[in-house]
Structure 1
């Protein structure tokens, strides 16, 4: 018992010890982005893997839940389910590679830090490119959650207010929930509530669809399609798993990052099974006319119930993206200084300013750009395709080449593992294919939206 107590507390018995569990498993705490936090007023590295699982599920499942039934309507049940399961397994593999890279490089806090390592002599360029991509995608994700909240609040109120007001109303609590500096100060346990809310909301949605099937509905096992329509449907399950850009910041706040694989397994297992069940049930009962978001295809009463139950998830997911975007900049500014770990005036002024700025920018983008939904897709194609899939192959090749994974070095070490090396080369190429295909789909979608007059005016209802 004494040894267990020493593993949890410092020698004074007052300050919570967050480094010891990781050290016992070989994690190099002295190189960690947050390091040894004993005696500091703000301690980040406190999360356990179950709470990281909740955070990961919260920030990923909303998009998939709302969009995947529509994908089945485009390609049919069998191809759609195969895609969801395959991409879920693929995302699990890349998640485990990202976790291993973080454990090998404790100083990594976000994709920008990983880019600094990956790009070698051009590390400064890699850091700026991948940091910018992470920030843009996080801010666009906040905007996406605000737009989803438009649909939720509009459904609940029968659209009695201008949608611009709904966005503004939702932006305020999103910002407030983002303000605590460490995830353990609120968002971690709120993510458990958010996970429960989206699951219950979707169960209610399935019950509503099952008890009120669309009369005369049609559904198909497989469907013929062209490249544009097929890739449009592929984009939804691809981006339904597009939360990997958040993994480094989340793992960085774990008490023991070596336990992160458990969170990755939990996330991908829950998400994949949930996606398959929800997509199939909603498609079977609503049919080929199932919309995206899927809740909008329900009878009004059931739609209100589902949207109302989903609001905690929309709120916490938006706050988590908001928090992450602000923290990436905050850590970049104050890494290694007391302003990161202590309650200094400068640290808090900068932090609050960043949170407010990110929220404001997301609000302006979401409401002021008529094609914002397409821009979110372009951002996902440009960055999520790489962060979720392609870049994992580069991480594995880098760490194997430089001796982090197996102890050997160079091309000789890679040649000893031809199958795994080939898998990671193909992983990188898959990221490139998804990126190019996604850009084609969303750019064409923008052109069609303009030609059909479907683009709304800025800041309109």
Structure 2
């Protein structure tokens, strides 16, 4: 895999340590990059901050919100809320550091470019980051293949083979992934986030109005605790913490989003809007649904704790986000590969048959790979947690601590109490990322072992229903 597209781009990356933090010519730089595209049939730098916000909303307002009540049931109400607020704050801060890094180096196109810059222009670092980037996105696509089959099984109540439903989900997601610019994807993102918001709202309302949670046993009222119940193990507690963390960590796509903005300086507007919305939504969903469902009847996603009729109504509103979010990750991956295939070729910016055939082939390959991964790994959920531990530790914490240290060379890191405090905070982020890498890997591997011991692991390409 080529390290970067052109020799000129390589030279810019190699110059990373020689630039000054202050970039006084932002406006002319961004204007030049946008102007360069004006003669192209397909223009990529077309997203306003509102459209970028739509993409962020579609990424964060997703089905994983309905796993927060389970995390709260393990951690307890108070620690659950604290962890949600703390991780949200960290993700907001690191996303702003990422944005500052992208402003300083506007030639950045994706997180792989950043990986190369952070390790001194190393091609090896670029290639390793590229592998992590593609695997992370493909595993998320695979998750949406499985969740799509889960939704179809749940809503239809059919005895049809689950693999068939997985194929149907993959084909639909492939078709939604075909637009070549994020500008076009943003319209679908708005609809996806809106319907998922309705799904979460309905789930909370139904949890409150139903007589009892699904599976209710007479005399055993829902148990709700402020803190973890006695006997909560490190593995279960850490799993709940990591579930919240993995849901909120999403910085891996942000450089790709910023690279297609008309004016990247507006990115914080989109980021703040999404962060405020997600903090409110995630916290309310986790706390309220846990309050009404309790420890004994909690499942993830929390749709499964609703009675049959309510479950189907609320879950049906999640259809657009299940389809679109997987498509968004496919689009980001496909764009990365497409740009490296054509580099400076006119096909990159043109509506030629070659360009569209190549684009469709790349998108199709990502979904074929996602389908195979989803079906061939019988312990996919635990495997996804393992991959998240490896990838999110870097893309959620370590990279952005390193980015800060790159932005502020040694002489400037300790220039005053506030700068010193921020420097210490970024060293902490690196340590936290390393801890998540180790602890998350241990917990995920132990969960795989436990699943095998309890006989909960199925078989590859199974026809068994995975309905909730």
Query: TM-score with structure 1 length normalisation?
Result: 0.89
- Give the aligned partner of residue 348 of structure 1: 356
- Give the aligned partner of residue 280 of structure 1: 287
Could you tell me whether the CA contact under 8 Å between 1:45 and 1:255 is conserved in 2?
yes
- In 2: Cα distance, 1:241 partner to 1:113 partner: 23
- Give the aligned partner of residue 29 of structure 1: 30
1:241 to 226, 243, 248: 248
Q: Secondary structure of 1:28's partner?
A: helix
Could you tell me whether the CA contact under 8 Å between 2:70 and 2:298 is conserved in 1?
yes
Q: Give the C-alpha shift of residue 242 in structure 1.
A: 2.2
- In 1: Cα distance, 2:405 partner to 2:431 partner: 13
Q: Secondary structure of 1:330's partner?
A: helix
Q: Which moved more, 1:210-219 or 1:315-324?
A: 210-219
Query: TM-score with structure 2 length normalisation?
Result: 0.88
1:211 is aligned to 2:209? yes
Moved over 6 A (4+): none
1:443 is aligned to 2:451? no
Q: Give the C-alpha shift of residue 30 in structure 1.
A: 7.5
Q: Deviations over 1:410-436 (max 9, x none)?
A: x21112131111111111111111121
Q: Deviations over 1:217-257 (max 9, x none)?
A: 11111114332121111011101112110101111111111
- In 1: Cα distance, 2:180 partner to 2:279 partner: 31
Q: Give the C-alpha shift of residue 160 in structure 1.
A: 3.0
Could you tell me whether the CA contact under 8 Å between 1:119 and 1:125 is conserved in 2?
no
2:196 to 188, 195, 198: 198
- Give the aligned partner of residue 334 of structure 1: 342
Q: Give the C-alpha shift of residue 389 in structure 1.
A: 2.0
Q: CA RMSD in A?
A: 1.8
Q: Give the C-alpha shift of residue 207 in structure 1.
A: 1.2
1:77 is aligned to 2:77? yes
Q: 1:35 to 1:73 in 2, by over 3 A?
A: farther
- In 1: Cα distance, 2:304 partner to 2:32 partner: 49
Could you tell me whether the CA contact under 8 Å between 1:29 and 1:36 is conserved in 2?
no
- In 2: Cα distance, 1:159 partner to 1:268 partner: 39
How many residues align? The count is: 428
Could you tell me whether the CA contact under 8 Å between 1:97 and 1:396 is conserved in 2?
yes
Q: Give the C-alpha shift of residue 26 in structure 1.
A: 2.4
1:373 is aligned to 2:381? yes
- In 2: Cα distance, 1:200 partner to 1:460 partner: 32
- In 2: Cα distance, 1:245 partner to 1:282 partner: 29
Could you tell me whether the CA contact under 8 Å between 1:109 and 1:249 is conserved in 2?
yes
Could you tell me whether the CA contact under 8 Å between 2:59 and 2:325 is conserved in 1?
yes
Q: Secondary structure of 1:415's partner?
A: coil
Q: Secondary structure of 2:61's partner?
A: helix
- Give the aligned partner of residue 427 of structure 1: 429
- Give the aligned partner of residue 165 of structure 2: 166
Could you tell me whether the CA contact under 8 Å between 1:110 and 1:131 is conserved in 2?
no
Long gaps (5+) in structure 1: 1-22, 402-410
Q: Deviations over 1:314-348 (max 9, x none)?
A: 11101101111111111222233312111233322
- In 2: Cα distance, 1:242 partner to 1:162 partner: 34
Alignment of 1:62-461 (within 5 A): 62-120=62-120, 123-185=122-184, 187-212=185-210, 213-214=212-213, 216-223=221-228, 224=230, 225-288=232-295, 289-401=297-409, 411-416=410-415, 417-461=419-463
Q: Deviations over 1:114-158 (max 9, x none)?
A: 11111115x201111111111100000001112122221111111
- In 1: Cα distance, 2:80 partner to 2:31 partner: 46
Q: Which has the higher contact order (CA 8 A, sep 6+)?
A: 2
Could you tell me whether the CA contact under 8 Å between 1:241 and 1:388 is conserved in 2?
no
- In 2: Cα distance, 1:381 partner to 1:101 partner: 24
Q: Deviations over 1:276-295 (max 9, x none)?
A: 00111111111112101111
Q: Deviations over 1:173-192 (max 9, x none)?
A: 1001111111223x110100
